[in-house]
Structure 1
């Protein structure tokens, strides 16, 4: 057994801030690819395809990153459960940052032919592999340091990282799109955000260099020999339920932030600048509401908020696609905003909820695999399925609304089968404190 170190309150704030910065940087890497896939990668890397087929092909390379994420969870989860959460943070950041910079250096199809999309595919896979480890390491390090009655709040800091990363990525693309001509943007402008990932990765490594190991990990005296084997053998039902439960959250986020960009710019003729601005405004509010949802989860429980978020999503998917089809910026923004509020009601508490469902010895593997399998179901498939469905209907993509509603109902059923965790943990902590005071 390791010596357990005590973390004082100021250290908790620094740790949460470092986790937020790290997830923001890694999700910047992941999101900048999604934005580029929606706007420019199809013509540059799949020029022999029709516009719709080229977008589908670009989204397929986008989806490969999600397929890689569960594999990254297994790889980095093994490291996290055997050797600690801190090594995961460094390794995942290096892998994601290096592969993102490399994407910005890949020649287009016109230069090297079919090797261009193949290289894109390989680098996207490596991006996903790194991000699959990032979430588990950052969330667990924060959640396992946090006091039980404030675990939701502190764990929400890494969850704010994805919207910050999205805003950084789309802000970079929006700035370049607004200042360059279409020809300049297609020729070299789209590469700049990928190159910037190298600088951000160095900043992230510096921020994480002073983090201390998780107390829960240091207390483990019987490590899982092969964590994945234990997870599959003893927790397979829990992994499948969490994956299904999280699917709609991923679907909402990537329908709003990735598919809608391609649909509105290609089908409706809305400018890139208008679409990026509308989506970014909704994401800003979503990010600001994440800690609010987390605090409510600390007070009322994780599961009730997840059920409310899923129900709201099921009711809003048809209105969202109808508002998107108007092409009017304010109406599109309203559709995106309500959808992302439903999303954050669920995902604001997930960083506390998932770790509490697993025992510490396999927590890094179990929580991360369940989280990233949900990404495959919701994030990888949604842009592809939505693009195909939208191409077969009229101006309003009702098929996309039906698909999203079905996912919301699936996730609602999975959350209904999961147990609550927060009241049990907090009551136990309070009972221990009362017993200590009485003693």
Structure 2
């Protein structure tokens, strides 16, 4: 491993000098430009999943069973996650050979084009199987683009940041995924509120996809103003860039071992914690608890907004007490408390209606039984969801710094992108589909196998087991990296 350990007497000034004496004004410019683009890419990627229940009938026919069309939409959504590791290989190679800036300009345009095109695809009722087929291809393109985006943004910011504050500065990149989800939900809710329900389901859902075109143009202009990262520019000037980053990533036994530890000891668990606590929770509230889209959005967005500063807090804390300790603590909390918190969400959602029994009024006239609407306890549901997101901030806040510090500059983009996107794309991205499928399967079992209450929550077995395994592996094999200097 080419990275060097920082000796105890090292001063912040010395570290900053080793990192080309980059001033904070420049670093904040880099963070802003990188973050804006990454937020928009996450926004593009999440719109589809946020609208899965509405898009399902559009892609698979309005006459299909709601459960089947939802699973179909989630499967298409999940396809984008499958190819993220391939995007990491393709764009990681470009980023390690040509440059960080060029690569994430390319991924930005690719993601935005696929998103706008998704908003223009005709429905199943008009073009049949071509509808889901076209959207599947567009989702694959989005997945490839996202596979190159995160590694580029994280690497770019980290290579500007001083060694002693890398956790703090890179934590702002970690906010972007949550910010992208918040933005997608807000745009969807505002669009939904601006028109009748029937119009939104018919054509209004396309507006958030088409809006991406405007956002992408603005983000491209901002990123175009950036220069190449100083560490990569230095390596390229000295002829130290890799000729074959993929071969060096997986052919070198030391580097290959680090990739496997990063995957099974960190990103695998981080992926399931992230998508369970934010994405599956949102789907669960709408499709299982039957909350209105607006109520579910209020709960999730409020909890994420309150928790978002904790990404920076835990990233900064990792500069002082280490990355591993915080990541493992968040993983363990998620493994232990996710299921109880979901039971709490179910309890506070309560039945949305109750039957008022038939009575006789004062005049002796019969009063028929009626259904009375009940309101869920949104403040308590928000508090419970906050704790779910809290676990995300613990495992996700320090992880960019940890991954950057594992690998040398010449293969850093490729080496960190592969475990990140396998962990998040494969293990994490399939949480909504796998958990929903398990819950549907449990409900279909013979009477007495599962109670209705437990069947709805059986899907959580998958993310909880994965998080628990990751905690065991990570605790045993991960080494803390906060004292690593990434200058080659």
TM range (shorter): over 0.9
Deviation at 1:424, TM superposition (A): 4.2
The yes-or-no answer on 1:89 pairing with 2:104 is yes
Mapping for residues 7-406 of structure 1, pairs under 5 Å = 7-37=22-52, 39-47=53-61, 49-220=64-235, 221-234=239-252, 235-244=255-264, 245-326=266-347, 327=349, 328=376, 329-391=378-440, 392-393=442-443, 394-396=452-454, 397-406=456-465
Deviation at 1:6, TM superposition (A): 5.7
Inter-partner Cα distance in structure 2 for 1:415 and 1:49: 44
Deviation at 1:224, TM superposition (A): 1.8
Q: Is the 8 A contact 1:256 1:279 kept in 2?
A: no
Q: Is the 8 A contact 2:263 2:422 kept in 1?
A: yes
Q: Is the 8 A contact 1:156 1:291 kept in 2?
A: yes
Inter-partner Cα distance in structure 1 for 2:136 and 2:317: 40
Inter-partner Cα distance in structure 2 for 1:68 and 1:336: 29
When normalised by structure 1's length, the TM-score is 0.92
State which structure, 1 or 2, has the greater radius of gyration over its C-alpha atoms: 2
Mean Cα deviation higher: 56-65 or 371-380: 371-380
Unaligned runs of 5+ in 1: 430-439
Deviation at 1:300, TM superposition (A): 0.7
The yes-or-no answer on 1:421 pairing with 2:481 is yes
Inter-partner Cα distance in structure 1 for 2:285 and 2:175: 27
CA deviation digits over 1:163-216, x for unaligned, max 9? 221111100111122232221111111110101111111111111112121122
Mean Cα deviation higher: 230-239 or 64-73: 230-239
Unaligned runs of 5+ in 2: 1-18, 350-375, 444-451
SS of 2:159's equivalent? Answer: helix
When normalised by structure 2's length, the TM-score is 0.83
CA deviation digits over 1:230-250, x for unaligned, max 9? 111222332232223222322
| 4+ runs deviating over 4 angstroms | none
Q: Is the 8 A contact 2:437 2:459 kept in 1?
A: no
Mean Cα deviation higher: 118-127 or 175-184: 175-184
Q: Is the 8 A contact 1:84 1:213 kept in 2?
A: yes
Deviation at 1:153, TM superposition (A): 1.0
RMSD value, Cα: 1.9
